Structures are given as structure tokens and as C-alpha cells.
Amino acid sequence: MASKTVAFFGASTGIGLSALKHSLAAGYQCVALCRDPSKLTSVLTSENAPNLKVVQGNAHDSAAVTRCLEAADGKLVDEVVFTIGGKPIPSKMTIDDPHVCEKGIATVLDSIATLREQGVIGRPHIIVCSSAGMSKFGRDIPVAYVPLCSLLLKVPGADKKIMENKLATSGEDFTVVRAAMLLIDGETDKPIRVGIEDPKTGIESKAIGYSISREDAGKWIAQNLVIEKNQKYFNKTATIVY
């Protein structure tokens, strides 16, 4: 278990932080890129998280991203958990960087390609966090959320769709996780329903719901995609809701 290495982008808070905590608890070596490392190290210290390496940098900086993607012995990391996003600006119905996910995933993919050109081997499973409401095959959110989606998610949603498309056409192994639109706080024991969609052929099963907590979403990612590596989610989109 401890031989696996997982790179995290966007793990300072929320879903990413929860996925990181559960991955560390499973005994994996984890590398997290943070613009402000103190936000993470104040929660996960060298004493309670000895398997964690924190790298300072921006997810749009290829040099910083590359440092996180190369594990020991000339190999790429085994998993990538990508949960970055923009800071909401509610008054303008936008986010501080309308292309944050697009640029971030492009940097990850380009960095993997560059490392391979340098002789680094491996095929990491890339897991990205998106949002329900992004499906092009049909409604995947409650009817009541449709107007909110068109308003609140217009800008970040366009960014996430580009991110999803870049990943789906990259040739890499991936899973897109679309969490319910309403993200709340607190880890629970509530059952999580999962809908599966193939980016090419469409919806295989539906799960439409109102909410999920950030902690439960991160725990689901860690348990089903990092620890278990459930093959039914490989190269698919998984929508997770209560």
C-alpha cells in the first residue's frame, strides 16, 4: 500500500483535502501542490501526516507541477487527484479565473508528456473534480437547479466542460467526478448514489440529487478511485449525490 504515490492539486480545502486525508490514512505517499503551504501544514503536520510532501507553487506553473508528478526511481506517480477551482465572485456571477481548470489540466497533461520525453515511465490515473450539471447527454440535476445552473455555473461550468473534454480526449486513464451542485460541510454516513456516463456513448445510469458534503465527496474519491481503483469508473464520468 505504501508504495503507491498520489499527487494532489487543490488539496488545501474541501473535497481535495478530504481525499488527501483518507489517502494518507490508507498509508500512501502523497504529494500536494499548494500556493500557500501553511494552509495545509497547519492541518496536516509532519507528526500526523509523515507520508505527506508539500510543494509550494501554482497549478499553472509547469515546473512546480512537474515536481509533483515524478515519483521515485524514474517513474510517474500512480494517481493524480485534481480538485482546483476558481474563487467565486457572486456579484458578477463569475470566478476570479474563468480558465482555472482548463489551464490547470493542460499543465498536468503537458507535464506528463514532457516527463515521458525525458524517460520517466508510468501511466497515472487522473481524477478530476467537476460538477453536476455538465452533462451533454441530458439533465443530471434536479429541475429546481436548472435556472441556478444557467446563472451560477455559466462561467465555471464552461471552464469545467473544457477541462473534462481535454481529459477525455487526452489518451490518459481518467475519471471525472461530478459532485452534486450544492456542496455542504461535514462527514456523514449517508449512502452516496452514483451515476455513470461514458464521454462518447452517453449516460449508463443516472443519479440526480440535491447535495453532497465536501468531506463525503473526498472520502468517496479516495475509497473508490485511489484505494479500490474501481475499474467501472475508469474513463467514465461518475456523478455523486446523496
pTM: 0.96
- Does residue 127 contact residue 225 with C-beta atoms inside 8 Å? yes
Question: What are the residue ranges of helices labelled H in the chain?
Answer: 14-25, 37-41, 62-69, 100-117, 146-152, 154-168, 214-221
Residues 87 and 43: their CA atoms lie apart, in Å, by 21
The CATH number linked to 175 is 3.40.50.720
Predicted pLDDT of residue 93: 81
Q: How many domains does the chain have?
A: 1
Structural domain boundaries, residue 195: 5-241
Distances (CA, A) of 41 to 6, 53, 177, 201: 17, 10, 26, 42
Predicted pLDDT of residue 175: 98
Nearest to residue 92, comparing CAs of 138, 42, 155, 48? Answer: 155
Residues 173 and 233: their CA atoms lie apart, in Å, by 10
Residues of the chain with pLDDT under 50: 1
Predicted pLDDT of residue 2: 52
Predicted pLDDT of residue 220: 98
Q: Tell me the Cα Rg of the chain.
A: 17
Distances (CA, A) of 198 to 13, 141, 161, 229, 238: 29, 17, 14, 17, 9
